[in-house]
């Protein structure tokens, strides 16, 4: 994990599922095919988060510790914990390895807390929690999931204070949709399939009426989710779309 930027502003970003690395003892115990693991991670979302100068780089895979789940659910011990996938040799993760993965989880939040404490002391802030989601789960040659139920960007706001931050959310989604800003427009909709999870809950609980997490789920149109191949031009378009919406966030924060 690394913190990029000086963290002197009120806009920060994370990409907690972008990592693919495993500590050696976890890698040794894992039987899940690497390509299948890669498909369930959020590859390249660290590049999206990086359009925000102050951001966190997390390198560990969600299959070691899922930083966007509550601590009690953060380590996938059995197939029931992770969509029925057979992950571990012998079918279940050992107690020793489980404890080591919880340490990975705790280290992230222990490092993030003082950084955000300092940001929160200066006033309201926005954290963009960047993720991605698969939309071709029926197979590499099957039609993609219907666009009506799968926006290009799902903006998850399930746990934020809408009375306070509602105008900021509307401005952000409006800017993502606005072709006049020089990129896009992006099909951005709120809480269609994802509402944000543990990182958002943690921030909103720790910094009430100060922290605002926008949990962004980008549809994996910037890559082939089955082969893992990146489509650089599409990724760049997504980066530009997100970058174009940042000035509006700064403006809305200034109004709070």
pLDDT above 80 (res 184): no
- Residue 67 domain-assigned (yes or no): yes
Domain with 23 in it: what CATH number? Answer: 3.40.630.40
Mean pLDDT of 73-79: 97
Other CB atoms closer than 10 Å to residue 137's CB: what's the count?
12
Domain span holding position 79: 2-165+188-220
Residue 182 has pLDDT above 80, yes or no: no
Which residue(s) pair with 214 in the sheet?
128
In a domain, 179, yes or no: no
| Contact criterion met (CB below 8 Å) for 155 and 172 | yes
* Position 77 confidence tier, pLDDT thresholds 50, 70, 90: very high
The total number of structural domains that make up the chain: 1
pTM: 0.96
Q: Name the nearest CA neighbour of 113 among 41, 20, 211, 214.
A: 211
- Give the residue-averaged pLDDT of 35-43: 96
pLDDT for position 155? 98
Kindly state the tokens that stand for 241.
């779309």
In a domain, 171, yes or no: no
């Amino acid at each position: 994990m690394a913190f990029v930027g000086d963290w002197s502003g009120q806009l920060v970003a994370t990409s907690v599922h972008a990592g693919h690395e495993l500590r050696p003892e976890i890698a040794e115990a894992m039987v899940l095919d690497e390509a299948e693991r890669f498909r369930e991670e959020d590859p390249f979302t660290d590049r999206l988060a990086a359009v925000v100068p102050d951001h966190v780089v997390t390198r560990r895979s969600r299959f070691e510790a899922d930083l966007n789940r509550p601590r009690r659910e953060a380590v996938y011990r059995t197939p029931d914990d992770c969509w029925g996938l057979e992950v571990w040799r012998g079918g279940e993760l050992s107690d020793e390895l489980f404890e080591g993965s919880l340490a990975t989880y705790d280290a992230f939040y222990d490092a993030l807390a003082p950084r955000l404490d300092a940001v929160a002391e200066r006033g309201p802030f926005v954290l963009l929690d960047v993720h991605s989601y698969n939309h071709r789960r029926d197979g590499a040659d099957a039609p993609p999931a219907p666009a009506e139920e799968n926006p290009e960007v799902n903006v998850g706001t399930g746990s934020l204070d809408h009375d306070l931050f509602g105008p900021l959310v509307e401005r952000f989604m409006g800017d993502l949709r606005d072709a006049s800003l020089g990129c896009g427009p992006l099909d951005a909709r709120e809480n269609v399939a994802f509402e944000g999870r543990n990182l958002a809950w943690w921030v909103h609980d720790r910094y009430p009426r100060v922290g605002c997490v926008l949990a962004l789920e980008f549809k994996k149109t910037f890559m082939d989710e089955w082969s893992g191949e990146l489509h650089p031009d599409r990724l760049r378009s997504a980066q530009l779309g997100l970058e174009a919406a940042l000035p509006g966030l700064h403006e809305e924060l200034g109004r709070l």
